[in-house]
Amino acid sequence: MAQQRIGRIQWGPLTFGPGSRYHVTAIEGLDDMPDIRADDMERPGQHGDYTGPDYTGARVIQLGLGLRADSPDELRDLTLALRAATQPQRSPAPMLLLDQNTLVYGKIRRRSIPYDAEHLWRTGSAALELYCADPYLYGLEERTASTTAYSPAAGRTYPLVYAGAGPAVRNLVLNPSFEETFTGETTGFGTNNTRSRDSSEAWVGGYSVQHAISIASAQGGTSWNIEPVAAGNLVRFGVYVKIPTSGIAALELWWRNQTTTLSTVSVLAQAKPGSWARVSGSYTVAGGQTCDRVSAVATSSAGGAATWWADAALAHVGGSSLAEYFDGANGGTWEGAPNGSVSSRPAGTGRMYGAAGTSGRITAVNNGDSPAYPVLRLDGPIANPSIEQVNTGGRITVDATLNEGEFLTIDTRTRAVLYMGSSPRRSWVRAGATWPLFMPGRNEIVYRGSALPGSPGQPSLLTVTWRDTSL
C-alpha cells in the first residue's frame, strides 16, 4: 500500500532513513514537476500563443540528512563515509526509495556537510543535490514478459512457471477474475447495485465484474469468499479497479466474517479514474475473529448513479508486501476446481514476470502515469522478425536473420539496436518504424516472423523488459 513517509533510501553502499545513522530530514523535487521546455510562439496580430507539446527538463532532488553517532569520532566516520559515496560521477547511478517503490537515476552535483568548530558534537547534518538528466520516476521492480513468435501451425510453447523473487504464496480468493459465472464464491453488495460479467473490460483474462449503482449516495460492490484466516494472522488484499472520472465519492476495501465487517480501509486515493489501477490494504485478524470474505465497495456521489469495474482479486496471509497478481491460469496452480478454489505459486528466484504471451502475444501493464520505454530482446532462430504494438500502432520490422544462439537487443529509448548485446545494427530496422512505447495501463504486443529451415515450431523468443514509469 502506498505510504506518505519517505522511509529508507539506498545510495550506493549507504542507506538513509529508519534503521540507519543517516536520518532523512527533508526531500524536495521528488514529487515536483521538473521545469517545462515549452514550444510556444506568439500569434501575430492575435491574442494568445501557438503552443506545441510540453517536455520536461532534468529533475533536481534536494536531500537533507541528519547524522546521528554515539561519539564525535564516530560522527567523523559517518562524514567520511558520506563523502566517499558522493564523489563526482561519470554516469548516472540509481537512487532507490525502497519504501516508496521508486527509482531515479542521477548524479550528485552538490554536497554540503557543515562543521561546527565550537563543539565536538555527536550529531551533524548534510545536504545533497541529485541531478537527474532522466526525469522519470521508475518502479523498483523490473517487469519482464516473453513469448515465442506466432505460428499458425504449431502455435507456441511457453512454460507458465513463476520466476519472480519471493517466497511461496497462496491466493486465498475464490473465482478471483470472474472467469466463471457468479456463484457462491462471489456475491453482490448493496441493494441498488446491479452486477454483470463484462467481456469488454478486463485487466486479466476475459472478464471483469461491472457494478452499476442506480442511485446517488448508494453503495455497490462485490464480496469474495476466501479460505478462512484465523485470529493473529495478517491478511493482505488487493484488487484492480476501474472507476469513472466522476461519480464515485468513496472506495473501500473490507475484511469480513460472513456479513460482519471486521475492518475497512479507504483506497480512493490509490485509484486512477478512467483507467485500471490496483488498490490494496492489510488487516490483522483480531482475537476471537475469523476472516472469510474480502470486499471492494464503492459509493456513488450525491450527483447521481455510477458504474465501475473490478478484476483480479488477490488475498494472502503475511509477507512484507502484497504479491503480484496470480491465479491458477496466470502464473499459479489451482488447488481444486479452476476459478473456484485457492491457487498457489511456488517460491521464485529471479525477476518478476508479467503476463505470459499467447500465440505470439504479450500483455504488458505499465502501472505508472507516463509512457514507459521497453527494451526488446529477440532470440533466434527467426527471419525478418516483426514486433507490433496493437494498442498504439507501433511497429518495428528487422530485415535480418538470427540463427540459433544469436540475439538482438533493441532499446526503444535510445534507439540502440545491438547484435549479441554489443555490435550496432541500427541499419537492420526497416524504414518507417514506429517504436513501441508502453502507455499507462495495458499494452498488447504481437511478435511475428518466418521460421528458418530445420527450425519447426517457431522457437524464437521475444523478451520485453520495462518498469512502471511516472513523472
Phi and psi for 85 in degrees, rounded to 5?
A: -85, -5
pLDDT reported for residue 291: 95
- The per-residue pLDDT for range 260-291, each reduced to its tens digit, is 999 999 999 888 888 888 999 999 999 999 99
> Which secondary structure element, helix H or strand E, spans residue 447, and what is its range?
strand 441-450
Residues with Cβ within 8 Å of residue 88, at least 6 apart in sequence: 107, 108
Place 311 in a pLDDT band, splitting at 50, 70 and 90: very high
Average pLDDT over every residue of 212-221: 92
Closest Cα partner for 96 from 57, 42, 132, 140?
A: 140
- The per-residue pLDDT for range 325-340, each reduced to its tens digit, is 888 888 788 998 888 8
pLDDT at 156 over 50: no
Average pLDDT over every residue of 35-46: 91
pLDDT reported for residue 3: 66
Please tell me the distance from the alpha carbon of residue 158 to that of residue 148, in angstroms, as a whole number: 7
In order, the DSSP letters of 242-303 are E--SSSEEEEEEEEEETTEEEEEEE-GGG-BTTB-EEEEEEEEPPTT-EEEEEEEEEEE-TT
Place 154 in a pLDDT band, splitting at 50, 70 and 90: very low
Query: Among 22-31, 128-137, 353-362, where is mean pLDDT lowest?
Result: 353-362
- The per-residue pLDDT for range 440-454, each reduced to its tens digit, is 999 999 998 887 776
pLDDT at 351 over 60: no
**CATH entry, 169-345, from 2.60.120.430, 3.30.470.20, 3.40.50.150, 3.40.50.280:** 2.60.120.430
How many whole angstroms from its chain centre is CA 19?
A: 26
The x, y and z cell numbers of residue 204, run together, are 486479466
Place 152 in a pLDDT band, splitting at 50, 70 and 90: very low
In the chain, CATH 2.60.120.430 sits at 169-345
In this structure, whether the domain defined by 9-136 belongs to CATH 1.10.1240.10 is answered with: no
Q: What is the 3 state secondary structure string of 316-384? A: EECCCCCCCCCECCEECEECCCCCCCCEEECCECCCEECCCCCCCEEEEEECCCCCECCEEEEECCEEE
Average pLDDT over every residue of 391-415: 90
pLDDT at 166 over 80: no
**CATH entry, 143-164+352-470, from 3.40.50.300, 2.60.40.10, 2.60.120.860, 3.40.640.10:** 2.60.120.860
pLDDT at 119 over 80: no
- The per-residue pLDDT for range 169-191, each reduced to its tens digit, is 999 998 898 877 776 667 777 88
pLDDT at 195 over 60: yes
Closest Cα partner for 331 from 160, 104, 94, 101?
A: 160
Q: What is the 3 state secondary structure string of 213-232? A: ECCCCCEEEEEEEEEEEECC
The x, y and z cell numbers of residue 202, run together, are 478486463
pLDDT at 369 over 70: yes
What pTM, to 2 d.p., does this model score? 0.57
pLDDT reported for residue 158: 42
Average pLDDT over every residue of 81-99: 93
- Cβ pair 440, 366 in contact under 8 A: yes
Average pLDDT over every residue of 13-42: 92
Place 359 in a pLDDT band, splitting at 50, 70 and 90: low
Closest Cα partner for 137 from 103, 167, 112?
A: 103
pLDDT reported for residue 353: 44
CA-only gyration radius of the chain, Å: 26
In the chain, CATH 2.40.30.200 sits at 9-136
In the chain, CATH 2.60.120.860 sits at 143-164+352-470
pLDDT at 150 over 70: no
pLDDT reported for residue 164: 53
pLDDT reported for residue 328: 86
